[in-house]
């Protein structure tokens, strides 16, 4: 990640994650990496420190412009100290997976401190089965899911004995933070430059309309047409669609990617379609558990879409759009549920709704930064649009290592917002698909049940596809924990069969 690729001022989309962040809804993403063996704190610090020149944002902090006349800027932190970002925390014996998830929920809940670079890591040693874990938090203004995976590939290694990282070509700047007057005039000059760029973009857009019928305009119109029914008809709220509180609770699952490939081969669809089918089946059971009817009911799931171009690989920040997918939670047959979801997502892709939504976002980026910052202070309107967010980010399909310790599992952690008390993060790693269900501890204290329903829904989908259980070994623990997980998996299969 070369330093010359870095932008100095935050984009409108990146800055919005700072403006709209609140104590009860912090806007950082993260993960839990489970590793084999204990991981010495000093070696972890040394390993990350030796790679910091490859990820310069990890030594830069966000500095606001005076009066919010411009979006904040990334400035080198003159007081950077890596030990303020990497902390070793204790876990009580015996250090089970359940204890790790409880600890991760507590560590993930607070906001990332703004007076330093916007990332944190927590090292957990002494886990059951001779394992350790690294819990990471990175503010959403710094990365989206895709750039977060690229960051993972820098922090971790593809070999237990990697070659030393390429040394820095120049020392990291240690200049003091710019004073208020400098930041003020820099923001004014950047605003003037932005006006010229937007004027040129408007002229190009006019030529598109005259000469080509404006594909961009058609994309925006399709996005508006698709969104109109959802705006007219409020979403049917789930039990967890409540105002958020600060506490967080976490539940995770993992599935064989070989089985998912088999499901796709038998029933069609994409990996993301399979994710939504499993999530829809779990939500249906969860709603029924809460005494709600599911017949003809649709859950509305916001799914982030990567719009990062090939030449933007290696850049941090956010390049995402959104699709709103209706998932039929009352359809009992998982194969039929997959067919419906696949038809829906295919239609959205053919209509290029994600491109239109991105263009709409670009239009809103023209709002003056001061007004954007002010809007972040206002109470958010009631959520009448969606039930939850589900983000699926492809990860590395090969083993990774940290200071020679192999990563056994990689669970994604996602933020919550806008009265959506449960969020679902999905990522792939080393031939497995990992789900992380993040919940508001008060809005969804029973998120563990939703995780159980997720497991049951996957078993049902696999059976409907005629796919046998994969014989790939479970890599997340020692022998005794693995036996317990296998017993839990058999119990889930029995529950799924009983559920019909």
Chain length of the chain: 500
What is residue 368's predicted lDDT score, i.e. its pLDDT? Answer: 83
Position 480 scores a pLDDT of: 41
**1.10.40.30, 3.40.50.300, 3.40.50.2300, 3.30.559.10: which CATH number matches 3-174?**
3.30.559.10
Strand pairing category for 28-36 and 86-89: unpaired
User: What backbone phi and psi angles, to 5 degrees, belong to 412?
Assistant: -80, 150
Whose structure tokens read 């296998």?
486
Q: At what angle do helices 257-267 and 271-289 cross, to 10 degrees?
A: 100
Please check whether residue 145 is in contact with residue 393, taking contact to mean a CB–CB distance below 8 angstroms. yes
Q: Are strands 320-328 and 298-306 parallel, antiparallel or unpaired?
A: antiparallel
Note the pLDDT of residue 393: 87
Q: What is the mean pLDDT of each run of 10 residues along the chain (500 residues)?
A: 61 88 93 95 93 88 90 91 95 94 96 94 95 94 64 84 82 77 79 61 48 52 56 85 95 95 93 94 96 94 66 48 86 95 84 50 69 86 90 90 94 94 95 96 96 96 92 44 41 36
Measured distance CA(362)–CA(197) in Å, rounded: 13
Which letter does DSSP use for residue 170 in this model? S
Residue 498 CA: distances (Å) to CA of 89, 295, 474, 494: 42, 20, 25, 6
Q: What is the CATH number of domain 223-499?
A: 3.30.559.30
Tokens in use for 176? Answer: 């003091």
* pLDDT at residue number 113: 94
Quick check: 88 and 123 in contact, CB under 8 A?
A: yes
Q: What is the pLDDT of residue 55?
A: 85
CA dist., res. 347 & res. 331, Å (int) = 20
8 A C-beta contact, residue 50 and residue 402 = no
Which residues of the chain are in CATH 3.30.559.10 domains?
A: 3-174
> 490: Cβ–Cβ under 8 A, 6 or more apart, which residues?
none
For helices 479-499 and 447-464, give the axis angle rounded to 10 degrees.
70
- Name the residue with tokens 């080509």: 212
pLDDT reported for residue 323? 81
Q: What is the pLDDT of residue 224?
A: 54
Quote the CA–CA distance of 286 and 453 in Å, as a whole number. 7
The Cα 71–Cα 7 span in angstroms is 12
Complete DSSP assignment for 177-226: PPPHHHHHHHHHHHHHHHHHHHHHHHHHHHHIIIII--HHHHHHHHHHHH
């Amino acid at each position: 990640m070369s330093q010359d690729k870095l932008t100095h001022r935050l984009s409108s989309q990146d800055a919005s994650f700072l403006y709209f962040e609140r104590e009860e809804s912090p806007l950082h993403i993260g993960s839990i990496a489970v590793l084999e063996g204990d991981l010495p704190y000093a070696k972890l610090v040394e390993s990350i420190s030796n790679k910091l020149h490859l990820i310069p944002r990890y030594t830069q902090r966000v500095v606001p412009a005076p009066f919010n006349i411009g979006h904040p800027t990334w400035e080198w932190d003159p007081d950077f100290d890596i030990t303020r970002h990497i902390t070793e925390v204790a876990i009580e014996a015996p250090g089970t997976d359940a204890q790790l998830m409880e600890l991760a929920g507590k560590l993930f809940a607070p906001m990332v401190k703004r007076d330093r670079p916007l990332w944190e890591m927590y090292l957990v040693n002494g886990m059951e089965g001779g394992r350790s874990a690294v819990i990471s938090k990175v503010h959403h203004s710094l990365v989206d899911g895709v750039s977060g995976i690229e960051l993972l590939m820098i922090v971790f290694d593809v070999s237990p004995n990697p070659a030393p990282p390429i040394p820095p070509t120049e020392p990291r700047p240690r200049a003091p933070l710019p004073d208020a007057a400098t930041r003020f005039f820099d923001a004014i000059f950047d605003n003037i430059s932005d006006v010229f760029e937007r004027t040129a973009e408007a002229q190009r857009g006019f030529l598109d309309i005259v000469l080509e019928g404006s594909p961009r305009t058609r994309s925006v119109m399709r996005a508006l047409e698709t969104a109109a029914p959802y705006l007219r008809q409020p979403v049917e709220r789930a039990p967890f669609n409540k105002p958020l509180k600060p506490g967080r609770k976490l539940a995770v699952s993992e599935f064989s990617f070989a089985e998912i490939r088999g499901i796709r081969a038998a029933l069609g669809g994409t990996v993301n379609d399979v994710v939504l089918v499993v999530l829809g089946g779990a939500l249906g059971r969860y709603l029924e558990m809460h005494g709600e009817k599911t017949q003809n009911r649709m859950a509305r799931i916001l799914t982030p879409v990567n719009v990062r171009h090939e030449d933007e690989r290696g850049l941090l920040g956010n390049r995402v759009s959104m699709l709103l997918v209706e998932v039929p939670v009352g359809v009992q047959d998982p194969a039929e549920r997959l067919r419906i979801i696949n038809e829906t997502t295919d239609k959205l892709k053919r209509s290029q709704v994600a491109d239109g939504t991105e263009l709409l976002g670009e239009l809103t980026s023209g709002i003056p930064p001061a007004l954007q910052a002010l809007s972040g202070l206002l109470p958010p309107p009631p959520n009448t649009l969606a039930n939850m967010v589900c983000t699926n980010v492809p990860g590395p399909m090969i083993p990774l290592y940290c200071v020679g310790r192999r990563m056994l599992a990689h669970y994604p952690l996602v933020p919550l917002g806008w009265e959506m008390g449960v969020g679902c993060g999905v990522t792939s790693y080393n031939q497995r698909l990992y789900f992380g269900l993040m919940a508001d501890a008060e809005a969804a204290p029973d998120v563990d049940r939703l995780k159980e329903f997720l497991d049951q829904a996957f078993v049902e989908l696999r059976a409907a596809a005629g796919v046998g259980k994969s014989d790939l070994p479970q890599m997340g623990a020692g022998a005794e924990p693995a036996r317990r997980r296998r017993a839990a998996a058999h119990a889930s299969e029995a529950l799924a069969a009983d559920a019909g």
